[in-house]
């Protein structure tokens, strides 16, 4: 590929905030990803443009503690606004007023790029990412298309867990999910490279097509992986049954993460074991008050500690190095980066058996229990607390897997796949 002044454009449903001039605030782990991506793209692409959703002032004030500030001129990462999130984008008035202007804006962005990077639009009424894919197809632009979650079972899971009514389940399954599947079929037909997160998803949609690839979306770098000396001390601590067990959840405090189930499981486990269990909850979100209230109702204030948000990087990982087990109890399909971040910190995982965690079970660092079974989650905590040798072995395997799956390793793979498939795209459209 020989481009002298080329523009790699990403159109994503990610929020950012323009503070002033070229000063931008964005989620810290995403910024780390953009920096690494920019460095990887630099030999071929001179410019990285990211078209995102701009936060309003109120949203920024609520989230600013978890955001990192950078200068787009200095970093060479330029942000464009798709629209501002002052209004619910599912509001009919918002859609009526903004659909055509936003589509025209996206068309111009795609027209001025050399490669488009986009993904699945979950909002079927205002599908900005799908607009971008259609524009790229019309303009014959090479396109990288990424889907980082297999959504197909989520509607049933929401219904089964009691979060949704039968009406909501049927509407999602037979309307929303059908449109989402259509987007993927369109992407496979027209995009140069399609990356799907999950073995079964890749098999079902890709059907052995060479440009449809199963991928892993890592956020940790080699520098985040626990060093051998710290790991050795950690393993000794884990193996000593006299030491308390420190379990952790880190991420957003939102309903579908099932953090309340984790709290209930820890409370049940504590009743069945003599060793004290400490549950660290790292993060912020709309569910915090309810989770604190649940903790008090269960009388677990001395066992469950709320730490607030920690920025992605050394501060977060230093805290994670102290923890022995990650709990994950999602109420729907979920593919959080916390799983691999935990492994980098030498933390094995205990989770509900959603497809992502079942795929990771083969690493030897993950164990699963039946979905929604708080009781079996508690039983497994007790079992691992007793069998510390097994827990330590899982921790070692977690680090081994993290070393083989850093963000840099996967960016290298994605870059090579991108260049290979873009070259094929150019040959196809010039022949």
Do residues 66 and 55 touch, judged by C-beta distance below 8 A?
no
pLDDT tens figures, 75-90? 999 999 999 986 677 7
- Distant-in-sequence, close-in-space partners of 124: CB < 8 Å, separation ≥ 6: 175, 176, 179, 180
Q: Is the pLDDT of residue 431 over 90?
A: no
Main-chain dihedrals φ then ψ at residue 290, nearest 5 degrees: -65, -35
Model confidence at 424, pLDDT cuts 50, 70, 90, reads confident
CATH of 7-218+407-430, one of 3.40.50.2000, 3.40.228.10, 1.10.150.240, 2.40.370.10: 3.40.50.2000
3-state DSSP assignment of residue 50: strand
* The residue to which tokens 């959840």 are assigned: 249
Q: Is the pLDDT of residue 343 over 60?
A: yes
Q: Is the pLDDT of residue 430 over 70?
A: no
Q: Which helix (H) or strand (E) holds 405?
A: none
pLDDT at 210: 92
What is the arithmetic mean of pLDDT over 131-160?
95
Model confidence at 43, pLDDT cuts 50, 70, 90, reads confident
Q: Which helix (H) or strand (E) holds 311?
A: none
- Specify the higher pLDDT residue, 29 or 325: 325
Averaged pLDDT of the chain: 93
Domains 7-218+407-430 and 222-404 share a fold: yes
Main-chain dihedrals φ then ψ at residue 47, nearest 5 degrees: -140, 135
Model confidence at 429, pLDDT cuts 50, 70, 90, reads low
Using CB atoms within 10 A of its CB, is residue 322 exposed (0-12), middle (13-18) or buried (19+)?
middle
User: What residue spans define the domains of the chain?
Assistant: 7-218+407-430, 222-404
Q: What is the pTM of this model?
A: 0.86
pLDDT at 240: 95
Provide the H-helix boundaries in 112-165: 128-139, 154-160
CATH class of 222-404: alpha beta
Q: Concatenate the DSSP letters of all residues of 152-191 into one string.
A: TTHHHHHHHTTSS-HHHHHHIIIIIHHHHHHHHHHHHHH-
Q: Work out the number of other CB atoms within 10 angstroms of the CB of residue 195.
A: 25
Please report, for residues 10, 158, 198, 360, the alpha-carbon distance to residue 373 in angstroms, rounded to integers and kept in the order given: 39, 15, 23, 19
pLDDT at 5: 56
Task: Tell me whether strands 7-20 and 23-27 are parallel, antiparallel or unpaired.
Answer: antiparallel
Distance CA 194, CA 334 (A): 20
- Specify the higher pLDDT residue, 421 or 142: 142
pLDDT tens figures, 310-337? 988 999 999 999 999 999 999 999 998 8
Span of 25-34, 168-177, 256-265 with lowest mean pLDDT: 25-34
């Amino acid at each position: 590929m020989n481009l002298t002044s080329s523009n790699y454009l990403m159109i994503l449903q990610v929020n950012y905030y323009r503070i002033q001039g070229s000063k931008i605030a964005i989620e810290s782990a995403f910024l780390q990803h953009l920096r690494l991506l920019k460095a990887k793209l630099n030999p071929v692409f001179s410019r990285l443009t990211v078209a995102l959703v701009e936060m309003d002032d109120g949203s920024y004030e609520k989230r600013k503690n978890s955001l990192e500030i950078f200068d787009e001129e200095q970093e060479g990462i330029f942000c464009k606004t798709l629209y501002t999130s002052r209004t619910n984008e599912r509001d009919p008035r918002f859609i009526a007023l903004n659909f055509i202007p936003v589509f025209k804006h996206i068309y111009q962005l795609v027209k001025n790029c050399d490669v488009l990077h986009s993904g699945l639009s979950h909002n079927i009424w205002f599908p900005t990412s799908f607009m971008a894919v259609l524009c790229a197809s019309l303009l014959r632009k090479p396109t990288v298309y990424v889907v980082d979650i297999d959504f197909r079972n989520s509607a049933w899971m929401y219904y089964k867990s009691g979060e949704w009514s039968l009406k909501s389940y049927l509407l999602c399954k037979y309307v929303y999910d059908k449109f989402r599947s259509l987007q993927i079929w369109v992407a496979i037909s027209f995009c140069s490279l399609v990356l799907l997160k999950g073995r079964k998803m890749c098999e079902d949609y890709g059907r052995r097509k060479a440009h449809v690839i199963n991928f892993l979306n890592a956020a940790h770098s080699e520098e985040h992986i626990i060093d051998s000396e710290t790991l050795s001390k950690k393993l000794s601590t884990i193996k000593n049954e006299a030491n308390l067990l420190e379990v952790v959840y880190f991420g957003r405090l939102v309903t579908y993460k099932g953090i309340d189930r984790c709290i209930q499981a820890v409370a049940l486990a504590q009743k069945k074991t003599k060793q004290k269990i400490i549950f660290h909850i790292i993060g912020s979100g709309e569910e915090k008050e309810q989770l604190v209230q649940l903790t008090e109702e269960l009388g677990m204030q001395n066992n469950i500690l709320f730490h607030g948000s920690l920025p992605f990087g050394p501060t977060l990982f230093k805290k994670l190095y102290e923890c022995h087990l990650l709990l994950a109890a999602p109420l729907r399909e979920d593919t959080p980066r916390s799983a691999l971040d935990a492994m980098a910190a030498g933390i094995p995982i205990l989770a509900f058996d959603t497809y992502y965690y079942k795929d990771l079970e083969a690493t030897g660092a993950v164990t699963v229990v039946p979905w929604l079974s708080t009781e079996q989650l508690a039983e497994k905590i007790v079992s691992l607390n007793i069998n510390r040798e097994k827990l330590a072995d899982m921790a070692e395997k977690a680090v081994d897997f993290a070393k083989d799956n850093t963000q840099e390793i996967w960016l290298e793979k994605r870059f090579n796949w991108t260049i290979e498939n873009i070259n094929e795209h150019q040959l196809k459209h010039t022949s």
